Structure 1
């Protein structure tokens, strides 16, 4: 049974959709408004629209007007009809010759036969990875200290699926400092946050289970859901100017109840890719809602340390005094992308189950990396303070470059994190990602961050490169954008 979008929710998201000219039919204006929401990912694919009667009542329209609206959307490919069931939202087939980009962000083809040479690929500025370079002195010192501490572990077998006690204690201490009482046996060290999420899916879910996610969201989280044969249930984030916040908890509640979702995965701190931050009030309501519905809440805090304007509210787990919420963390985003250390904070019982399941994948995180991570956590403020200063300057460089080279693109300055979510006037994200490498820059197309497409109006750009490289990357991206025909959404060959 398809999930149904509420009429009041659709009316709210449509905003000021009514035509300003008498020459434009009302049904056409309504269809255009719904189509825009679909292309922006704010109406997930596969969702059923409200009944004609319900939508007509909420919008104070005749039922004939809504009927004509839905008919126009079906004709354009934005609604699919099945006998005996509601019409569901879809995306129309792409025109022949539309450039396609495979799930890996570095796709290079920009036409039926064109490919990117290895020389061009090497020269391109890669803007697909929202990951930080290492602070050389801090990371070197951490590994030197780890090397000195290593002999103490020679007498053991060096394998511990839950992680070294010294690191688990350091992570627990960080949670205590952030207002979440935590015992060492509540912490499991993993080989990155991605492994943590995959383990949680395997232990807490089953094939076919529904998992509610933010929309857009982290692409690798979606890939992990697909690989475990679960199904993502997207709940769109609200616009940046929405009040009181970006997370539509009412729609999330409806999605859980209608689909029977067993898991909820959210990124409340400098959300990837939008940079949004969940309010303190919404964090409390999120916990209450998942308790009422019986879904397990998994909170990804990988970006929590990377505030630039102000620290985020207390962790979601603080609303429960540390109980009933599963939290995922990572050293890779805070300290260095090459430090593949993550962790899970959960009940001791769940930690034990996760450790048993882990044996099928690996049997522990390398000791040297764990010891180095512990050293960096001990120097947390010393490492992160200068890093925030650098990221703030690079964020400013990206905003300036976009304002100069792409003034018609819409962007909101994120209060933290590592990237921006930019909206283009035309839905050409996939085509842009395809032609951009020929201009010396590689970007991640917006649809990578969604379920079954959408987000063709969007592209994510990180501000992790140097300011000069960011400026040059945007200049090259603007050059690629000018080769597209925004009206037709198809790339012209660049010779």
Structure 2
């Protein structure tokens, strides 16, 4: 069924859209970016020209010209009497290896496959006769894989029984399942901002109402605001990435963890800890797992092999109290009938090798991070370019809130990035840009050169009065 977006909601999603002149092209670019990020799904009916013009406080002719530009580029279609709706985009394959036009895709913050993966897959394929002897439908997960995941947690200081583990089809599947079981329509959810955008989408689809807590590269989590939000709104759950948070790369200090845990326990809030990036340490060194001494049932952990081994290995898991695992198993059949057997067998073979894999990843990520930080600091000295201790990306603060305009400009030059607003739980972040450092070095260096060439043009093309206004808001 087709969906609609109101003028008010579209205005909020566009944020600081007026980043260049003419205004109608800036508006069209803002809507294009929402389509490219899938924040405007295909077949979404847009507001009428008059309604959007009133909401944006521009002339109707500006909106009409923007819609005309979007029709010309194939982003929307308009039918007299029926309005305008977004169209499915003819996307290029987001994978770098399949890109035939030379585009550098830094929308996906995922390293290439671990070099030893092909050999492990070949070994598992040699045991295919045993694999196909199983039924193949299993909403809990293979016993050997759940045992390996439990041992993985035990090595980290978290004693775990295989009965406290549920295997899922990647971390995103785990998030969707947790959202459907833990949250109902109208329930409050504490969430970091910026954060992993697909998690926000999953929780919103479950009907949750996010309450944002700021995270910055300089100061980390705003714990005062977190404590106030937990006490005031009593959220059912909180979604956190305590280690190498995506996209900021920050990690919680021991004091941060203690404060957040105490506040969550006072409010009766379940902590959903996304640990998919927790093993991506570059130079921080080992620390105790987050919320190690939480009360049973108050913490749910989710992980996957997507960032550590390969994004194409769609195996994830949930580690939770056995009672919650039973509830998740009961609800799962409406979503899927289990994780593929072959992928599970590969994952079971990989888990014991994780220390070796993580060591290789650390070297790879250090090389990419250092190269990108050096290039950007050299070419763009007015940007605040951090050097995170782990993770997969830089969360850069620009010297003007023009992230969306910059992303649209460099896209036309073959560099695909996600604007800072894509990671906002409640709007904003137009001053920030996420730049992954997981691509090959030559691509990273070329990306830095494209950004350096584009930024003066984007910065200079924005109306001075509007830039000043946006900076005052920030």
Give TM class, smaller chain. 0.7 to 0.9
Deviations along 1:350-386, one digit per CA (max 9) or x if unpaired, are 1111111110111100011111111111111222212
Is 2:249–2:388's contact at 8 Å kept on the other side of the alignment?
A: yes
Counterpart residue number, 1:481: 455
Give yes or no for contact 2:406–2:458 (8 Å, CA) kept in 1: yes
Counterpart check, 1:281 vs 2:240: no
Matched, 1:213 2:220: no
Q: CA deviation at 1:280?
A: 1.8
- The equivalent residue for 1:372 is 346
2:401 maps to 1:427? yes
Q: Does 1:387 align with 2:361?
A: yes
- Kept in 2: contact 1:304–1:312 (CA 8 A): no
The whole-number CA distance in structure 2 between the counterparts of 1:218 and 1:293 is 24
Partner of 1:197: 175
Matched, 1:260 2:234: yes
Q: Matched residues in 2 for 1:171 and 1:345: separation?
A: 9
Aligned-pair CA distance for 1:254: 1.2
Cα contact 1:391–1:464 (8 A) shared by 2: yes
**Preserved CA contact (<8 Å) 1:199 1:354:** yes
1:230 to 205, 208, 211: 208
TM-score, normalised on structure 1?
0.75
Aligned equivalents of 1:317 and 1:279: distance in 2?
11
Q: What's the offset of the Cα at 1:125?
A: 0.6
Matched residue SS, 2:151: helix
In 2, Cα distance between equivalents of 1:349 and 1:103: 40
Q: Distance in 2 between matches of 1:93 and 1:431?
A: 8
Unaligned runs of 5+ in 1: 1-45, 47-76, 79-89
Secondary structure of the 1:319 match is coil
Q: Give the 3 Å change call, closer, same or farther, for CA 337–92 of structure 1 in structure 2.
A: closer
**Is the CA contact (8 Å cut-off) linking 2:210 and 2:425 kept in structure 1?**
yes
- Is this contact kept in 2: 1:279–1:313, CA < 8 A? no
In 1, Cα distance between equivalents of 2:17 and 2:245 = 30
CA shift in 2, pair 1:452/1:112, >3 Å: farther
Q: CA deviation at 1:420?
A: 0.5
Residue number in structure 1 paired with 2:110: 131
Match of 2:440?
Answer: 466
Shift of 1:121: 8.6
CA gap 1:91/1:159 in 2 versus in 1, 3 angstroms: closer
The 2-side partners of 1:273 and 1:344 are apart by 22
| Alpha carbons 2:377, 2:385 under 8 Å: kept | no
Q: Which residue pairs with 1:269 in the alignment?
A: 243
The corresponding residue for 1:83 is none
Supply the distance in 1 between the matched residues of 2:272 and 2:188 (Cα, whole angstroms): 14
Structure 1 match to 2:224: 250
Specify whether residues 132 and 179 from structure 1 end up closer, same or farther in structure 2 by C-alpha distance, changes over 3 A only: same
Equivalent of 1:363 in 334, 337, 340:
337
How far apart are residue 312 of structure 1 and its match? 4.9
Question: Superposition pairs for residues 62-461 of structure 1, below 5 Å?
Answer: 94=18, 96-97=23-24, 98=26, 99-100=29-30, 101-102=33-34, 104-105=36-37, 112=69, 115=73, 122-136=101-115, 138-238=116-216, 240=218, 242=219, 246-320=220-294, 324-461=298-435
- RMSD (Å) for aligned C-alpha atoms: 2.8
Contact 1:161-1:358 within 8 A present in 2 as well: yes
Please state how far the C-alpha of 1:259 moved relative to its aligned partner: 2.2
Q: Is the CA contact 1:106–1:442 (under 8 Å) kept in the aligned structure 2?
A: no
TM-score (norm 2): 0.78
Work out the number of aligned pairs and report it. Answer: 399
Q: 1:204 to 1:323 in 2, by over 3 A?
A: closer
1:341 Cα deviation after fit: 0.7
Aligned counterparts of 2:412 and 2:426: Cα–Cα separation in 1: 27
Contact conserved, 1:263 with 1:296, CA < 8 A, in 2? yes
